[in-house]
A and B are shown apart, each in its own frame.
Chain A
Amino acid sequence: MTDIAAKTVTVTDTRKTGRLALLSEFWAYFSENKGAVAGLVVFVFVILIAIFADVVAPFQPQEQYRDAFLKPPFWQEGADPRFILGTDAVGRDILSRLIYGSRYSLFIGVIVVTISLLLGVTIGLLTGFFRGAFDAAVMRVMDVFLSFPSLLLALVLVALLGPSLTNAMIAIALIQQPHYVRLTRAAVMAEMGKDYVAAAKVSGVGKIRLMFVTILPNCMGPLIVQAALSFSGAILDAAALGFLGMGAQPPTPEWGTMLADAREYVTRAWWVVTMPGLAILITVLAINLMGDGLRDALDPRLRRS
């Protein structure tokens, strides 16, 4: 009875810890989802196109060829072999405009997600942390934001600030941030009651450090998934604003703006209408596929045990 310790078999935990191991575990779950990997490949491809637009694009996006108005894509009769996807009504190469347009869409996504994430997470942390009247007041303000259809509020904000790409991005970021506020607040409230937070409090960790360093990293999962969703949402909304003439202004080769006067061409030049929308759809679809994969990989409840 005295030598229990001697009989105890030591079991070593062979699971790896540390960032690299976490990353490889994440990748193992993410790569199980074939759609997510396909989405990632397409997304990286779009990023490369955007970075190397100057090299890849056959023409300048604003360059007009007076001898080639509304030329169809290369496989159709009457095509001009110089313009692979045809030209628009003022003789600009559609492929080149799409390639340069990828810069705008990615830029919009990055800026909108950054602004709304920073704003939303900060507000969410503060409300979840301090609760009380402050929390109640802020959440009512967020309710007001959420009771306007997103696109309508963006439209009105743009009408207020004047139509431009910058204002469109600000408007979209403002209407997206309540989602981050709600997510962060809910996650913070769930974490607040846990032992590690109490331990940190007892050991005298300051409020700011407690919020941003102790709690925030444990709320990241849903925020990353939301970031992917709002990245694609931002691209769609910005394109919709451009389409309605309230986003990027012509002759900017933004994909939505390219569709702004497309209605005129539905009867005679289908490619002018089809190509920019296809670019939007493929990019957004790729990001959403990735988002689904991220959700599966980051949400432990969905994992197979």
Chain B
Amino acid sequence: MLRFLFYRILLLVPTFIGISIVSFGFIRMLPGDPVLLMAGERSLTPERHAELLKQFGFDRPIWEQYFSYLWNLLQGDLGVSLKTKIPVTQEFFTLFPATIELSLVAVLFAIVFGIPAGVLAAVRRGTVFDHAVMGTALVGFSMPIFWWGLLLIILFSVTLGLTPVSGRIGLVYFFQPVTGFMLIDSLLSGQAGAFKSAFRHLILPTVVLGTIPLAVIARQTRSAMLEVLSDDYVRTARAKGLPTVRVVGVHALRNALIPVITTIGLQVGTLLAGAILTETIFSWPGVGKWMIDAISRRDYPSVQGGLLLIAGVVMVVNLIVDLLYGLADPRIRHRK
């Protein structure tokens, strides 16, 4: 296991270097020189311009610039946001819990509904129920989620008045963040109704962000189950006279879950891309909306830093999924 772990972590190094080159190259590929870009709307005197070029090191050779970028990066310094003058890393990690909370709840939602739906569809293969579940899953898979969010707002918020339209919690509640997770913080605050408010704010964004993973998980679970259900050991279990619930729920499901777990892990990228859209629609104060804002107001240090941090997160999550997978299935960790 240790060798596998070491090998997997070693593989990350070239990827990480690639990611850092992409994010380093990004600002230098823009037309015009970086100082003028960072100055934005403000005008610069030629003297100040030259001074800034020197200060940021843009007059040095490009590889030297890259290594100093990498050096700062390894120390957690990704520059300062042009808009707020706050370090990019600090801004990112202040907003990140909101995105994690939303993503986690969305994945949970997708798993809780997706796996049972897929299992039942596989068990009742060819029935109306199977066709209904798979049809719905394909619709979910084809859904433009930004539009789906707007539809849900029209139905549940505007017409029925059941859920709030935007934000993470009602404006009447105010408390200092402890964990950054609103569901937990609202409970810790002890304010009456705070948790309920946070929960109600989470419902629609969760459904929107969870829709595509839900569809993917349901489809994957069904096909994995179908494969396993025709295996000999399942027939043996049935022949022994075990009740169907036990055969399906214990014997078959455990093996069928391996590819499903991989699928869930692969959804991380999709989830973060979806978070950009979901957070924009629901004004959810997470890193997705922050990136969009940074891009539209040409806050390049933020875009650059955000790009790197998000790719880093995806990389680390993929590593964790791989390790879990190796832990669950010895065949994986012994394969080179």
Contact = CB atoms under 8 A, between A and B. Distances in A.
Interface of A: 35, 140-141, 143-144, 146-152, 155-156, 159-160, 232, 236, 239-240, 243-246, 256, 259, 262-263, 266-267, 270, 273-274, 276-277, 280-281, 284-285, 288-289, 292
11 contacts: A148-B307, A151-B274, A151-B277, A152-B291, A152-B307, A155-B291, A160-B26, A243-B146, A262-B150, A274-B151, A289-B138
Contacts of B30: 160
B15 A147 contact: yes
A232 B139 CA distance: 12
Given A266-B153, A266-B154, A281 B292 contact: no
Contacts of B146: 239-240, 243, 256, 259
Given A141-B18, A160-B26, A280 B147 contact: yes
Contact of B26 (A140, A147, A156, A276): A156
A140 B18 contact: yes
A292 B138 CA distance: 10
Contacts of B29: 160
Contact of B295 (A155, A240, A262, A267): A155
Nearest to B13: A140
B206 interface: no
Contacts of B142: 232, 236, 281, 284-285, 288
Interface string B287-322: 000011001101000010001001100110010000
- For the residues of A in contact with B, the DSSP-based class is helix
B15 A143 contact: yes
Given A245-B296, A288-B141, A152 B22 contact: no
B318 A147 contact: yes
Interface stretch (B54-62, B235-243, B265-273, B325-333): B265-273
Contacts of A35: 135, 138
Contact of A152 (B138, B273, B280): B273
Nearest to A284: B142
Interface residues of B, number: 44
B138 A244 contact: no
B46 interface: no
Given A144-B22, A245-B296, A246-B295, A273 B150 contact: yes
A276 to B, nearest CB: 7
Nearest to A288: B142
- For the residues of B in contact with A, the DSSP-based class is helix
A273 B151 contact: yes
Contacts of A239: 144, 146
A150 B212 CA distance: 15
A181 B158 CA distance: 46
A155 B292 contact: yes
Contacts of A280: 144, 147
B311 to A, nearest CB: 5
Q: A-B pairs with the 10 shortest C-beta distances? A: A277-B147, A144-B18, A151-B273, A149-B273, A285-B142, A284-B142, A149-B272, A140-B14, A149-B269, A159-B295
A276 B148 CA distance: 11
Given A244-B276, A288-B141, 5 more contacts: A259-B150, A266-B150, A266-B158, A276-B147, A277-B151
A143 B318 CA distance: 11
A31 B26 CA distance: 48
Contact of A143 (B18, B273, B276): B18
B119 to A, nearest CB: 20
Contacts of B318: 147
B223 to A, nearest CB: 10
A270 B154 contact: yes
Contacts of B123: none
Given A155-B295, A245-B296, A266-B153, A149 B147 contact: no
Nearest to B281: A263
A147 B147 contact: no
B64 to A, nearest CB: 22
Nearest to A239: B144
Query: Most chain-B CB neighbours within 10 Å: which of A141, A144, A288?
Result: A144
B184 interface: no
B203 interface: no
A256 to B, nearest CB: 7
A288 B134 CA distance: 12
Nearest to A143: B15
A152 B310 contact: yes
Contacts of B154: 266, 270, 273-274
A35 B318 CA distance: 34
Contacts of A160: 26, 29-30
Contacts of A289: 138
A141 B14 CA distance: 9
Contacts of A276: 147
Contacts of A281: 139, 142-144, 147
B73 interface: no
B70 interface: no
B323 interface: no
A152 B272 contact: yes
A292 B295 CA distance: 36
B144 A148 contact: no
A230 to B, nearest CB: 14
B307 A259 contact: no
A148 B147 contact: no
B277 A150 contact: no
Nearest to A236: B144
Given A155-B295, A266-B153, A148 B138 contact: no
Query: Most chain-B CB neighbours within 10 Å: which of A256, A266, A270, A284?
Result: A266
A259 B143 CA distance: 14
B201 to A, nearest CB: 17
B14 A155 contact: no
B261 interface: no
A285 B307 contact: no
